[in-house]
Amino acid sequence: MKGNANLDFQDKRDLAQIQTWIDEIKMQKYRRLYFLAFKKYFADQVTYRMQDITVELVVYDEIENFKKASDPQFNYPYESRRQ
């Protein structure tokens, strides 16, 4: 930095700390911009890929007859094994 010749050690340390903060802020901005760009790319890719998906829905009209708790086959296939 220009004009730092008359600064004492404390001032130079403070300037170094300030420069560190500036560098961290720049890195955070860079990371945020990178994240936003990746997020947009990912969203665009998902939208693009979803166009290739075909969903086929099959609906069966069946009635399930549930067993009563007192029925011997209620716990099938978890019933007790015969020895």
pLDDT of residue 58: 83
- How many whole angstroms separate alpha carbon 21 and alpha carbon 17? 6
**Residues 6 or more apart in contact with residue 72 via CB below 8 angstroms:** 79
Residue 55 inside a domain? The answer is: yes
- The tally of domains found in the chain comes to 1
pLDDT of residue 23: 92
The whole-model pTM stands at 0.37
Q: What is the residue range of 23's domain? A: 7-83
Residue 1 inside a domain? The answer is: no
pLDDT of residue 5: 60
Mean pLDDT by 10 residues, the chain (83 residues): 67 88 91 90 84 81 72 65 55
